[in-house]
Chain A
Amino acid sequence: MSEDQPRMVLLRVFRYRSGDEAPRYDEFRVPIGPRTTVLDALLGVRRLQDPTLTLRHSCLHASCGTCGMRVNGREVLACVTRLDGLGDRVVVEPLAGAPVVGDLVVDMEGFYRRLGPSGRPLVRASEQAAPELPDLERFEDCIECGLCLSACPVAATDPRYLGPAALAAAGRLLEEPRGADPAAVLGWVDDAHGAWRCHVAFECSEVCPAGVEPAGAIMGLRRRLLRDRLSRLAGLHDREARP
C-alpha cells in the first residue's frame, strides 16, 4: 500500500437496536487502500470508532455467505466488495425483507425455512453419492447468503414466496435427485407462491456471488412443469400420480 495519505471514504451505516423507535444512519470516515473491502472498513469502525456496531461475518472470502448486506442499495458480500470505486459516500444497510436483529444483522430463519423442504440438497453427503456421478463429490455453489431473496422484487412483497435459493435447490434436486422423489419436488414448487410467482426479473442471478443462476433454475423448473402438464393434457401420461 502507498505511503501517501490514504483516501478517506464516508460510510453511512444503518443503525438499529432492539427497542429503538426508528433506525438511524451513523456516519464514519474511514481510510481505504486499493484492497480495502466494505467488511475491512466496518471491522475497522468497530475496532477504532464504535465497538457497538453489529454485523455478521466469518470466512472473509465469499465462502460462508454471512456478510451479505446492501451497499449503495445493491446486495453484496461485504468481504469481497472493495470500497475503491464506490464513491466518496457509501451507504451500508442490512439485507431487505428479513427482520433486522440489530444494525446490519438480519434474522436468517425465514431464508432457511424456505430452504427446508428441499432437504438442503446442496451439500452432498459423500456416502450417498450415486455411482453414476463423477468420482469426486463436491459442495454445490450456493453459499446460503440470502442476497437473492433480498434483491428479488417478488420477495419484496410476498412473504410466502419460496424465493430463488430454495427454488434453485429444488432445481438441483431434479437434476440429480440423490434419493429424493422428483414428483414430490415438483409438487412442492408447483404453487402460486412457488416457481410460478417469479416474474422473470433475473435480479437473483445478477446479485448471486457464487454464480448459481437461481433464475435459470426456476425457468428450468417451469419448463419441466409445463412439459409434464402438456404431456398429461395430450394423454401421454396416466392421470396425475399425486395423492
Chain B
Amino acid sequence: MSRGRLAIALIGLVLLVGGLAWGTAGSYGFGHYHALYGRIVARDSVPDRSATNAVSVTTFDYRGFDTLGEEFILFVSVAGVIVLLRRMRGESGRDESLLAEEDRRASESSRWLGLALVGPLLVLTVYIVAHGQLTPGGGFQGGVILMSAVAFVAVGGESVVLLRLRRASSGVELAESAGAAGFAMIGFGGLVATGTFFENFIAKGTSGLLTGGFIPLANIAVGLEVAGGLLVVISELFDQRFTRERS
C-alpha cells in the first residue's frame, strides 16, 4: 500500500469505524429491542398462517416480495457467471485427455463413498425443505445442502461427476429457471386467485406439513432454484480448469 493511500485509508477508517461505534452506542443497549413490528409478526404468524416458524412466514409471506427480488438476484448472478465464463475465441473446448485422467483417478471406493453420502444428504434436504414453515431451515438451506451433496462427491475424488453434470447443464439450468419462474408464478397465483400480487392464496391448514398456505410451495421453488443455480456456478468454475487458451 502506497503511503498516500495508507494515510487516506487510516483517516477514513478512524472516522468511519469511530462514527459507526459512536452512533450505535447512542442506540438502545443490546437486548432491549422493543419495536412493535417484530412483536406483531411474532405474535400473528401462528394465527395468520398456522405455521410455527415466524421467520419463514416473514420471509415468504409478510415480506414475500423481498424474497422474490432476492431469488432473482441469485438467478441473475448465475446468468452473469454463465455469460462471464463463456468460451471466447481462442479458447479450446474441454481437454478430453485431462478428463480421462480425472476419470482414472476416481477410484472405485471413493465412488461408493460418494454414493453412500448422497443418500442421507438427499433425505436431509427433503426434510429441511418440507419443514421450512415449521422449524428452522427451508428451501434456501435445503437447496445448498443438495448442492453440497454433489460437492461432497467431488471432494471424495469424484470430480468427474461435476463434468458429467456440466454435460447435463441444460437440465440443471432447467431446474434453476423453473424454480425462479415458479416463485414468481406463486406471486401471480395470488393476483389471479385473490386480486393482490403475492397474496397467500392457499388455505393455511391446521397443523403439520401442509400449513402456511403457499409457503411449502415457495420453499420447494427456492430449493430448486438455489440448488440448480449454485450447481451451475460451481460447475462453470470447475469447467474452467479444463479450458485451455490456444496460444
A and B form one complex: no
The residues of B with any CB-CB pair to A shorter than 8 Å are none
